[in-house]
Structure 1
Amino acid sequence: MQPQGPELEIVHLLRAVTVELGLHSGRFAQRYGMHPTDVRALIALMDAARAGAEMTAGRLGAALGLNSAGTTALVDRLERAGHVRRVRGGTDRRRVVIEVEERAVELGWAYFGPLIGRAVDVLRGYDERERAAIRGFLEAVREAAAGAG
């Protein structure tokens, strides 16, 4: 039996937001001569950096669902474009980690910054309890989607 009720309207709205964000990301990729997977890789790398975690090619490939050859091609492509660099790990100098070049961060902020700013402005209209509910909902849906494969 398919779910019914007002909750389903919110689920459909979340799907619509996901589609719009995907289209926005696709336009960014197209404008800058990138593959959509390149954008996903840059996001994964920036998320790792924000969390203080080093990202190896193996971890990046696993996060994106790519095999070793596909990951190497992806990193090579991003490196040639000047978006990432390979460096020695800070904690283990034998490891090679992938880092995002500042140029790529600036490019992303120039394109996605206005949308992020509007989203932040919308969130400022909610009190902390409401933001906690939104955060909890989004985290739970993300976990559900990650386990749905």
Structure 2
Amino acid sequence: MHLLRAVTVEFGLRQAEFAARNGMHPTDVRALICLLDAARADEPATAGLLGGRLGLNSAGTTALIDRLERLGHVARVRDARDRRRILLRVEPEAVRLGREFFGPRIDAVLDVLDAFDPAERDAVRRFLTAALAAFAPEPGA
């Protein structure tokens, strides 16, 4: 548990460092991660999804999106399937900045993971999935 906490603390410090270097708030970085994760999972990235995942109210979510849009990190785009719905898209420059900063760290972790056999990777995945579930908010909370 102490190692997991240490990893999360270090990751949080790197997020704060990235935010400061790029004129952002740490919440902005968490928002970008959330939006990238939604895109990776092929989930529609709406303001509601973002606010719900970050625990923000409607006004806070709007202010966050406005700030990210002003910085050129996020664009609001109409949903091609439902023109009434607005989706959020992380802009390529934000992806480039993130890859430039976090890429070497991510690559180092992936190199370690590559040395694990499939059973070890499965054990790590099961552990991290269970740890995430233990810390996730209770439904309806």
* TM-score (normalizing by structure 1): 0.90
* Equivalent AA in structure 2 for residue 144 of structure 1: A
In the aligned structure 1, how far is the partner of 2:11 from the partner of 2:50?
22
Give the length in aligned residue pairs: 139
Q: 1:54 aligns with which of 41, 44, 52?
A: 44
1:99 is paired with a residue of what secondary structure? strand
- RMSD across aligned C-alpha pairs, in angstroms? 1.0
Aligned partner of 2:31 in structure 1 is 41
Aligned partner of 2:73 in structure 1 is 83
In the TM superposition, what is the alpha-carbon distance from 1:90 to its structure 2 partner? 2.7
2:119 is paired with a residue of what secondary structure? helix
Aligned partner of 2:12 in structure 1 is 22
Moved over 6 A (4+): none
| CA-to-aligned-CA distance 1:40-82 (integer Å, 9 cap, x gap) | 0000000000111111111111110001111110000000000
Aligned partner of 1:126 in structure 2 is 116
In the TM superposition, what is the alpha-carbon distance from 1:119 to its structure 2 partner? 0.2
Aligned partner of 1:141 in structure 2 is 131
1:92 is paired with a residue of what secondary structure? coil
2:87 is paired with a residue of what secondary structure? strand
Q: 1:65 aligns with which of 30, 55, 63?
A: 55
* Equivalent AA in structure 1 for residue 94 of structure 2: A
In the aligned structure 1, how far is the partner of 2:89 from the partner of 2:42?
12
In the aligned structure 2, how far is the partner of 1:33 from the partner of 1:103?
14
* Equivalent AA in structure 1 for residue 52 of structure 2: A
Aligned partner of 2:91 in structure 1 is 101
Q: 1:115 aligns with which of 101, 105, 121?
A: 105
Determine which structure has more spread, i.e. the larger CA radius of gyration. 1
In the aligned structure 2, how far is the partner of 1:141 from the partner of 1:147?
12
Structure 1: 5+ residue stretches without partners: 1-10
| CA-to-aligned-CA distance 1:89-141 (integer Å, 9 cap, x gap) | 13211100111001100110000000000000000111000000000000110
Structure 2: 5+ residue stretches without partners: none
* Equivalent AA in structure 1 for residue 61 of structure 2: T
